[in-house]
Structure 1
Amino acid sequence: MSLRVPLDPKAGEETIFDALIAAREKYGDKEILEDQDRKPLTYTGLLRAAFVLGRKIADMTAPGERVGILLPSSMGVVVTYYGLHAHGRVPVMLNFTSGEANIKAAIKASGLKKILTAKRFVTQAKLDDLLDDLTTVAEIVWLDDVRKTIGLQDKVYGLMAGLMPKRFRVKTDPSSPGVVLFTSGSFGAPKGVVLSQWNLVANCRQVAQHIALDPDWIVLNPLPTFHCFGLTGGVLLPILNGMKAFQYPSPLHAKQIVELIHEVKASLLFATDTFLNQWARVAGPDDFASLQFVVAGAEKVKDETYHLYNTKFHGLKLLEGYGATEAAPVVAVNHPDRNRPGTVGQMLPGMEWRIDPVDGISEGGRLFLRGPNVMRGYLSADDPQSIEPLAGGWHDTGDIVDIDKDGYVAILGRVKRFAKIGGEMVSLTAVEGLASAVWPDSRHAVVSIPDSRKGEKLVLFTDRNDADVARLAEWARSHGAPELAVPKKIMRVAEVPVLGTGKTDYVSIQRLAEIDKAA
């Protein structure tokens, strides 16, 4: 059991809204939030907008009620999130890319009755049919219509609340829910994660203690706020540390994002390997000149991506990190002055961890975490109002990791991402690495299916149309990789399925492999 660095004891527990108020006091009433509509808000502007919108929503909800938010990264989603907190409601962030079945499951699991969304977003994202389906399980509240009801009295209320926010906000406890999120579903059905207000604020404090952040920096956030990386990294972290948070609605718009980085003079960028690779391919050598460094999380960073950023962008530092929705989400991250590619850096201050051995796996072990950022628990499958607490406060990540003598964490794979072939444990993540070494410009995913002779068989899915087993086997032999790590079956696809967050969709890939086996 280990604790590398304690969290600064001066960082007393705070609620999300009080942390926002404290940030205004510390950094002054500066511009703190902007999106593509180019109508920036100061801290006071954000507070006023949150109070006014939040009061309207409070009129149609009960104290402590969970309220769904179905919006892209924008000033609107930030104002709505803080508006719910100003009046003691609990935001439930809904993943609008996950499909009707998963969204309905999230609605049922969280027990929410109302969903807040916007007509312009629904129209532009072509979600009209989805919203029609959702009306059968929840009430849709159009924020466009709510804003039309804001009158002079509401504006006066907002002015007063902005001057004296602690007198107007509903008092809550740091241990009360800060958000309900759903895990990405990469390896199974999404789970409802309840993060306390202090979990989220603490994670922002941990990152700021680990890496010095300049209040003059600008963070560009194109990641969705239904993903914890987008919510904490792209919204809460910058705002609570005096940095402007520029919100952009989709990470898929590579050309527009590259232009925005240059235009707004972004200092920090948080993204996944998939998106960073896409953006780098359309960017010119000087387009990222304003960036101090880039932080990658949610999936392993490929060697090719490191190479791109090191060569094309004049040695721009790409820092790989590691997190989990259940940890709000950042657990470890490399440091600009202590960057060790191939690892996810060192544990954040305040993180406790232990590594349990796993039968059949000789290197590393199963990582368990405890700390101020680790969730209260999962939503109970039987009762939306119940939370299944963690035994002893420990979260089982399901990840196999190794930590060296300097405290750098290497992610070796997931417990579920190992196959047992001929009695030997084989890391599917390592097999994907083998495929990436042979065909670095393509995307690959490996799953296992039952095999009558050897227990399990590896199946490689790839968008490389000339991929073949012989080439993989040749590379494995010449580099000393075991023969067991070579997939005996290759499925060539136009696109390897991914989730809205950019992570590989292993659920869909496993289903395709099983359908093919049965055919």
Structure 2
Amino acid sequence: MATQGTDTPTEITVPEHGVAELLRRATQRHGDRVALDFLGRSTTYAELAEQVRRAAGLLAAAGVGPGDRVALVLPNCPQHVVAFYAVLRLGAVVAEHNPLAPAAELREQLEGHGARVVIAWEKVVGNVVGGGRAVFAVDLTAALPLRSRLLLRLPVAAARAQRETMRGPVPAGVRSWDRDLRGATPLAANHPAPGAADLAVLLHTGGTTGTPKAVALTHRNVLANAEQGRAWVAGLREGEETIYGVLPYFHAFGLTLCLTFAVDMGATQVVLPRFDVDMVLSAMRRHPATFFPGVPPMFDRLATAARERGTDMSSVRYSISGAMALDGDVARRWEEVTGGLIIEGYGMTECSPVILGNPFNETRRPGALGVPFPSTEVRLVDPEEPTRDVPDGEVGELIVRGPQVFAGYYGKPDETAEVMLEGGWLRTGDLVRRDPDGFYVLADRRKELIITGGFNVYPSQVEDAVRSMPGVIDVAVVGLPDSSRGESVVAALVLEPGASVDLEAVRHWTRERLSAYAMPRSIAVLEELPRSQLGKVLRRSVRDRLLEVGVHVREMGEHVREGHLADHLPGPLRGRDTGAEPGEKPGEKPGERPGGDPAAD
């Protein structure tokens, strides 16, 4: 079987403490080291730990205790890191949410886990008020360097426009997180800490069945995957690395690689509120990255820009790609630009998230899922009879067992039972084969999930949104191959006689009903949809038909590239981050922001 190398253990020792202990230990060892860099403003580990103590005291005073859910509806920012560790220090549970999710989706999720407190970005705070919850509003500008904050106060159009992308109106009764934090009493050092088996995080996903639910991860789950990652990348040096936090923290990949793994390594984390090529390359001059976790579109665009501009990326020694298949050409160009290694991994939210990874050596195989992480067992079974293993060389459903496997779907024991087998084995729903060299390769998806730019899109949810549109009789949603996103969401429509529906109309209709990445990027009009004898629409037949006729997946330009996980982040603070007005680039007219704001698209 392929292995990571002689320095990589096959087993790890899983920490038996809470996640917040990572920060305490990092502070003890590297207190003067920069923990966070946010667009030029630095926070040391000692300063971060003090902010976390104050935040924990603030939340405790607001009535938050062990087991209580606290919802974070935030982009990547220092306040997000502080709130995350403060909640966990109290033994409460972090419920992560996409800040750009539709209001109805956010409210449904909040009701589902019953959060006592919500900490939300000012731009979206209006979407989460109500329900008897205490709400704190976060001002992103409060985390900027002083020079940037002063520039935003200038009475000029560009400053006003930029302020509007970063700040929003705060409803009455909503407290200011940043102001209250400054006056908060720090949590007592002897305050009881949670145990490894306690619930730590809720991450929202459709899971393996497509029904929206909250994945419950314990402190042990989260710490195990961070420790597995640390063992996997054996060449990293504690207290010396610089990791870029461009993956969304509300996504399992970003949470583990940036919120926990980086702190576990005592690394400096360059925190970016969204992925932006100019922003990344600007930050590289201030804090050159040594470790870069991302998704293929990020590596593709950064490699191209670095080569065109002659930017030195040679500091990047290790990169991990996830969420979608890594094209071999993209991997080759990234390694040519950086001189480092890039590998891809495979996982799912229910596994905190990583299960398999390619080795960080010459045996890596772009396009393959990889080999099992330390302390991770995998099997291939008959999807119709999951207690039976399939013979070597045949395709089977991948099942997994390990310390990173989740505690279940929050409040949904029946759904949990559907995916958990006897002995602690989790069904992934993915059909996989194991090659003779030990690498696992994805063969197909058992469910008709669409993965676009790293995000899961469930066809039934998109269909429900489109079907309600005037002029539409029926709809089937499928994913078609897309070189930049992995798959593109395509809606096949059956229209009423005489009706005319175009792509722009479909996207306008669904923008309040779907997350931006889930909105169709192309449509096709059919006379009828293929159905089974029972009347069920055959999505696979629809997909095959569209591929046969060569449906054109329309590329709509940079201003709506929200299908990428890399891009599906709040739009403020684009461009330079070294003192100019955040988001303003040389040659722009005041108020112009090339590329647009996904929050507004």
TM range (shorter): 0.7 to 0.9
Moved more, 75-84 or 484-493: 484-493
- Picking from 424, 434, 451, the partner of 1:393 is 424
- Picking from 202, 220, 235, the partner of 1:180 is 202
The answer for the alignment partner of 2:250 in structure 1 is 226
Q: Where do 1:73-152 residues align within 5 Å?
A: 73-119=76-122, 122=123, 127=124, 131-137=125-131, 138-143=133-138, 145-149=176-180
The answer for the alignment partner of 2:60 in structure 1 is 58
Cα distance in 2, alignment partners of residues 200 and 41 from structure 1: 24
**Cα pair 2:315 2:338 within 8 Å, conserved:** no
Query: Does the residue aligned with 1:84 lie in a helix, a strand or coil?
Result: helix
Query: Does the residue aligned with 2:397 lie in a helix, a strand or coil?
Result: strand
The verdict on how the C-alpha distance between 1:270 and 1:57 changes in structure 2, with shifts beyond 3 A counting, is same
**Cα pair 2:36 2:78 within 8 Å, conserved:** yes
The answer for the alignment partner of 2:322 in structure 1 is 297
Cα distance in 2, alignment partners of residues 456 and 142 from structure 1: 43
Question: TM-score, with normalisation over the residues of structure 1?
Answer: 0.75
In structure 1, what residue type is equivalent to 2:403?
P
Tell me if 1:250 matches 2:294. Answer: no
Report how far residue 277 of structure 1 moved: 2.0
**Cα pair 1:32 1:41 within 8 Å, conserved:** yes
The answer for the alignment partner of 1:478 in structure 2 is none
- Picking from 241, 253, 272, the partner of 1:217 is 241
- Picking from 319, 322, 329, the partner of 2:353 is 329
- Picking from 399, 422, 425, the partner of 1:368 is 399
**Cα pair 1:368 1:396 within 8 Å, conserved:** yes
Report how far residue 397 of structure 1 moved: 1.0
Query: Does the residue aligned with 1:225 lie in a helix, a strand or coil?
Result: coil
The answer for the alignment partner of 2:575 in structure 1 is none
Cα distance in 2, alignment partners of residues 135 and 383 from structure 1: 30
Query: Does the residue aligned with 2:20 lie in a helix, a strand or coil?
Result: helix
The verdict on how the C-alpha distance between 1:264 and 1:358 changes in structure 2, with shifts beyond 3 A counting, is same
Tell me if 1:194 matches 2:225. Answer: no
**Cα pair 1:327 1:373 within 8 Å, conserved:** yes
Cα distance in 1, alignment partners of residues 71 and 26 from structure 2: 26
The verdict on how the C-alpha distance between 1:287 and 1:218 changes in structure 2, with shifts beyond 3 A counting, is same
Cα deviation code 1:193-250 (max 9, x no counterpart) = 0100011111111111122121211001111111011111012101112212221110
The answer for the alignment partner of 1:43 in structure 2 is 45
Greater share of helix: 1
In structure 2, what residue type is equivalent to 1:404?
D
**Cα pair 1:69 1:116 within 8 Å, conserved:** yes
In structure 2, what residue type is equivalent to 1:227?
H
- Picking from 392, 399, 409, the partner of 1:378 is 409
Query: Does the residue aligned with 1:487 lie in a helix, a strand or coil?
Result: helix
For the aligned residue pairs, the C-alpha RMSD in angstroms reads 3.8
The answer for the alignment partner of 2:515 in structure 1 is none
In structure 1, what residue type is equivalent to 2:44?
T
Query: Does the residue aligned with 1:320 lie in a helix, a strand or coil?
Result: strand
Query: Does the residue aligned with 1:332 lie in a helix, a strand or coil?
Result: strand
Q: Where do 1:20-31 residues align within 5 Å?
A: 20-25=23-28, 27-31=29-33
How many residues of Structure 1 are paired with residues of Structure 2 in the alignment?
Answer: 443
Query: Does the residue aligned with 1:413 lie in a helix, a strand or coil?
Result: strand
Query: Does the residue aligned with 2:215 lie in a helix, a strand or coil?
Result: strand
Cα distance in 1, alignment partners of residues 134 and 36 from structure 2: 29
The verdict on how the C-alpha distance between 1:497 and 1:112 changes in structure 2, with shifts beyond 3 A counting, is same
Cα distance in 2, alignment partners of residues 207 and 442 from structure 1: 25
Cα distance in 1, alignment partners of residues 420 and 261 from structure 2: 26
Moved more, 255-264 or 142-151: 142-151
- Picking from 14, 17, 31, the partner of 1:14 is 17
Cα distance in 2, alignment partners of residues 187 and 224 from structure 1: 23
Cα distance in 1, alignment partners of residues 567 and 259 from structure 2: 20
Cα distance in 2, alignment partners of residues 383 and 364 from structure 1: 28
The answer for the alignment partner of 1:501 in structure 2 is 565
In structure 2, what residue type is equivalent to 1:283?
A
The verdict on how the C-alpha distance between 1:447 and 1:395 changes in structure 2, with shifts beyond 3 A counting, is farther
Report how far residue 88 of structure 1 moved: 2.1
In structure 2, what residue type is equivalent to 1:267?
T
In structure 2, what residue type is equivalent to 1:377?
G
Report how far residue 22 of structure 1 moved: 3.0
Cα deviation code 1:243-286 (max 9, x no counterpart) = 122211102x2221122234311111111112222333322354
Report how far residue 489 of structure 1 moved: 5.1
The verdict on how the C-alpha distance between 1:170 and 1:42 changes in structure 2, with shifts beyond 3 A counting, is farther
The answer for the alignment partner of 2:284 in structure 1 is 261
Report how far residue 95 of structure 1 moved: 0.9
Moved more, 30-39 or 216-225: 30-39
Report how far residue 303 of structure 1 moved: 3.3
- Picking from 488, 496, 510, the partner of 1:445 is 488
Cα distance in 2, alignment partners of residues 143 and 310 from structure 1: 38
The verdict on how the C-alpha distance between 1:310 and 1:199 changes in structure 2, with shifts beyond 3 A counting, is same
Cα deviation code 1:126-153 (max 9, x no counterpart) = x3xxx32322344422256244345678
Runs of 4+ aligned residues of structure 1 deviating over 6 Å after TM superposition are 184-187, 359-362, 386-389, 446-449
Report how far residue 300 of structure 1 moved: 1.1
The verdict on how the C-alpha distance between 1:187 and 1:248 changes in structure 2, with shifts beyond 3 A counting, is farther
Query: Does the residue aligned with 2:316 lie in a helix, a strand or coil?
Result: coil
Question: TM-score, with normalisation over the residues of structure 2?
Answer: 0.65
**Cα pair 2:313 2:338 within 8 Å, conserved:** no
Query: Does the residue aligned with 2:443 lie in a helix, a strand or coil?
Result: strand
The answer for the alignment partner of 1:513 in structure 2 is none
Report how far residue 487 of structure 1 moved: 3.2
Cα distance in 2, alignment partners of residues 55 and 387 from structure 1: 38
Tell me if 1:67 matches 2:70. Answer: yes
The answer for the alignment partner of 1:274 in structure 2 is 297
Cα deviation code 1:287-328 (max 9, x no counterpart) = 3221112211011112342243244x1654221111111111
Report how far residue 388 of structure 1 moved: 9.1
In structure 2, what residue type is equivalent to 1:45?
E
The answer for the alignment partner of 2:514 in structure 1 is none
